[in-house]
């Protein structure tokens, strides 16, 4: 399976970087073809400019500035997002990627009087993420990152996409053995992906 991994964290020494490496190594070990996109290393421009927004519905002109990223999405069978949760949302880099690359006729299509999924090539979808907050606090606030990963992203993929969400909460106050156990759990999940 061709798995497109989309990673967003600026620090190479972060827990997110360790999880990203765990994802890549275990997917590769399982025999998958991995297309790894580190948004920071790629120097992805997350800003949706006035020109970009004005061309948003102008298909195929809207693709021109991000065509290589669109091609990578369209070539994938599965997606794995690897990122931290900051301020109960995606990092700005990842949000900007979604805003600029998940375009009309890419992530969604117009079907008569409604929108339909555009990424029907994606049959597996996973998120690997960390929170500074405790799980109960995220739940009280509606846990928007979890909803984005398990509802929004699901809605734009194949109708029978399999979705998994791997989250470690309260990372700044957890004992090391809990962090290590989560890393191992993520590795095991990616080997079975």
**At which residue do the structure tokens 């599965």 appear?**
78
With a cut of 50, list the residues of the chain below it in pLDDT.
none
Q: How far apart are CA 64 and CA 62, in angstroms?
A: 6
Residue among 97, 102, 107, 82 at smallest CA distance from 44: 97
Contact between 5 and 36 under an 8 Å Cβ cutoff? The reply is: yes
What's the pLDDT at 110?
Answer: 84
| Exposure class string for 77-113: b at 16+ Cβ within 10 A, else e | ebbbbbbbbbebebbebbbbbbebbbbbebbbbeeee
pTM above 0.85, yes or no: yes
Structure confidence at residue 183 (pLDDT):
98
Per-residue pLDDT reduced to its tens digit, 166-185: 999 999 999 999 999 999 99
Spell out the domains of the chain, with CATH numbers in brackets: 2-191 (3.40.50.360)
Backbone angles phi, psi at 130, to 5 degrees: -135, 150
| Angle, in degrees to the nearest 10, between helices 67-75 and 92-101 | 90
For residues 28-44, b (16+ Cβ closer than 10 Å) or e, as one string? eeeebebebbbbeeeeb
Residue 97 · residue 46 · CB < 8 Å: yes
């Amino acid at each position: 399976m061709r798995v497109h991994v989309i990673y967003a964290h600026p620090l190479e020494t972060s827990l997110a970087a360790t999880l990203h490496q765990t994802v890549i190594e275990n997917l590769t070990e399982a025999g998958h073809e991995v297309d790894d996109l580190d948004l920071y290393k790629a120097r992805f421009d997350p800003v949706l400019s006035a020109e970009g927004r004005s061309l948003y519905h102008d298909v195929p002109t809207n693709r021109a500035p991000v065509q290589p990223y669109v091609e990578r999405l369209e070539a994938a069978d599965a997606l794995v997002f690897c990122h931290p949760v900051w301020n109960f949302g995606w990092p700005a880099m990842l949000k900007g990627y979604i805003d600029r690359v998940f375009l009309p006729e890419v992530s969604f299509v117009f079907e008569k009087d409604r929108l339909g999924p555009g990424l029907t090539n994606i049959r597996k979808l996973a998120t690997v993420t960390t929170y500074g907050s405790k799980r109960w606090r995220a739940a009280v606030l509606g846990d928007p990152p979890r909803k984005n990963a398990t509802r929004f992203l699901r809605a734009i993929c194949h109708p029978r996409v399999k979705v998994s969400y791997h989250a470690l909460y309260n990372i700044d106050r957890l004992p090391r053995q809990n962090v290590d156990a989560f890393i191992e759990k993520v590795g095991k999940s990616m080997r079975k992906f």
